[in-house]
Structure 1
Amino acid sequence: MFETCKNWLYKIVNFFLFILAILILIYMARDLLEVFQLIIGSELKGSMAEISDFILGFFMLFEFIVMIIKYIEDTHNIPIKYLVIISITAILRQLLVIHNNGLQTLFLTIAILVLVVVLFVIELIKEKELKRGKQVK
């Protein structure tokens, strides 16, 4: 009984995630058209800040799609490693947009350093677990 309910809940969650992915894809297509209009359109010559804003938003949406796919592939579980990597890329994107404030740049680079250390620790723990598993066998 419990397994049946769990399977139904997973199907419902997958359905809603599919709808969310479709909506994100539609929004990405609209964003892409706006970027083309800003770049190519003669009446709408956009500034680099506007264009980069659209492009960075596009890649954020792309990461959401990838995260949804990874979530479904990994049986409704996102490994912490992927979340840390996505956080690093988001902070790097923020550094690209906001680079005129020295203190904020320093804080963002410290955040990236902390996340890289977290990735390193995760890999060390994974190696230790693999070695422990080999010793048990």
Structure 2
Amino acid sequence: MKHFDATSDCRLAMSSIGVMRRIVSAVLLVLSGLLFVFGAREMVLLGMIIVMPASWDEHAFWVHTYNLFMALEFVFMIIKYFEENYHFPLRYILYIAVTSVCRSMMVDHGQLVACAGAIVLLAIAYCLVTARNALAARFLPDEATAA
């Protein structure tokens, strides 16, 4: 019968977490590279729209601008994930979601009520996250730094 050995079990768990972290990091690096290429493509398309005024299409211009900013936001989100030591605060995701929904409202006017509802839900989620962090800081000081 095998006895519980805390040090070897802990070492095994930490090494498997390290392997998973490396895999996630590699996937995120590939994803950020693809997003960078997508953003460069959108910049070229925007440049073509601006340089050729005969083919000016305002809707296409705003769609390409929207796509460019979304690609940049995701790349910056991946960079922030690595800067924060493999941690990404939930409030950043909420900020990005609100700005994305606002940009979507500017490009596509067909779903304004649904987008407004999404912004209200995201604002409520942000209030809940902020309240949770405030309560954790007051009553659980060790856990407040982890959130």
1:2-55 Cα shifts (integer Å, max 9, x gaps): 32232122122212211221121122112101110111135x622110111100
Q: Among 102, 118, 130, which residue is 2:137 paired with?
A: 130
**What secondary structure, in the 3-state scheme, does the structure 1 residue paired with 2:55 have?**
coil
Where structure 2 has 5 or more consecutive residues not aligned to the other structure, the ranges are 1-11, 142-147
Pair 1:91 & 2:101 matched: yes
Partner of 2:89: 79
Distance 1:133 1:40 in 2: 57
Partners of 1:25 and 1:45 in 2: how far apart? 26
Unaligned runs of 5+ in 1: none
Aligned AA for 1:41?
Answer: M
Residue aligning to 1:117 = 124
1:7-86 pair list within 5 angstroms: 7-41=18-52, 45-86=55-96
Aligned alpha-carbon RMSD (Å): 1.9
Offset of residue 133 of structure 1: 3.5
CA distance in 1, matches of 2:115, 2:28: 31
Q: Paired residues, what number?
A: 130
Query: Normalising by structure 1, what TM-score?
Result: 0.82
TM-score scaled to structure 2, two decimals?
A: 0.77
